[in-house]
Amino acid sequence: MYKKSLPLVLAALVAFSAPAPAAESVAPPKQHWHHQGVFGTYDKASLQRGFQVYKQVCSACHGMKLLSYRNLAGLGYNEDEIKAIAAEYTVVDGPNDDGDMFERAARPADRFKAPFANDKAARAANGGALPPDLSLVVKARHNHEDYIFALLTGYQNPPAGEEGLPGMSWNKYFAGHWISMAPPLVEGAVSYADGTDASVEQMAKDVTQFLAWAGEPHMEERKKMGIKVMLFMFVFAGIMLAAKRKVWAAVH
């Protein structure tokens, strides 16, 4: 009797001791991105709108420590515009001749100013959660641009019966669905200089493209060089084939 019941006991122990599976993440819908593909290029207008969304919305919590203000030239801003953008921020510099640190207006060569002095300050201001740096966020996430766009537009009311911790929001595309970041985008959160309607979807698409550019600002140059290399290899292969035929023409 004991031998017959042993498998059932073991099965019950395994069932109750096994960790509950995490909520399955939902694959984000595939989107069309202007910069994807061999001949894809960045949409400069969208990049500038995306930078505006980052500046006015995202930068309150998320830094971009790998970018300098002078990198904004890649978005189509000229030197005077970049100087004006940088000058909106103050950075700590020094020491001066007296050995003291001081504040000054940021310059194009300075890195983007971080929203918090350190990680502890960032956690304290966000209920214990640490907002990730966005410099490489698109490249660091599975499904890349599609995931970022889906995350920004995936906030919904939680299903009936589901409850999260206080301050958490339910997001369809976030692993586990409960996320500490409140919905960052609301209709009309920014006023686009070019008159584009600032819907949640439009802002999400623009800021996603800006973040994609931030992670790979030299993509267009890389693609152009790749095409030139492939054309050279094609021509070179033709020359080598013609030379081979000429050299071995008399050999039967």
Contact 115, 62 (CB under 8 A): yes
The predicted structure's pLDDT at residue 199: 97
The bridge status of strand 102-105 relative to strand 90-93 is antiparallel
* Whole-number pLDDT of residue 252: 60
Q: Between vectors from CA 228 to CA 223 and to CA 230, what angle results, nearest 5°?
A: 95
Rounded to whole angstroms, the Cα distance separating 194 from 44 reads: 12
Second-level CATH architecture of 23-65+133-242: Orthogonal Bundle (1.10)
> pTM of the full predicted structure?
0.83
Rounded Cα distance, 203 and 152, in Å: 9
> Nearest 5 degrees, angle CA 122-CA 91-CA 212?
65
Model pLDDT, residue 166: 86
pLDDT number for residue 3 = 46
Per-residue pLDDT of the chain (252 residues; tens, 9 = 90+): 444 444 433 333 333 333 334 456 789 999 999 999 989 999 999 999 999 999 999 999 999 999 999 999 999 999 999 999 999 999 999 998 889 999 999 999 999 999 999 999 999 999 899 999 999 999 999 999 999 999 999 999 999 988 888 889 999 999 999 999 999 999 989 999 899 999 999 999 999 999 999 999 998 898 889 888 989 999 999 999 988 888 888 776
Taking the C-alpha atoms of residue 168 and residue 149, their distance in angstroms, rounded to an integer, is 19
Helix (H, G, I), strand (E, B) or coil at 90: strand
Cα–Cα nearest to 203, from 30, 26, 50? 50
Cα separation, 55 vs 44, in Å, equals 16
pLDDT at residue number 140? 95
What is the structure's pLDDT at 19? Answer: 39
d(CA 13, CA 185): 46
Which residue type does 21 have? P
Alpha-carbon distance of 10 to 138, in angstroms, equals 45
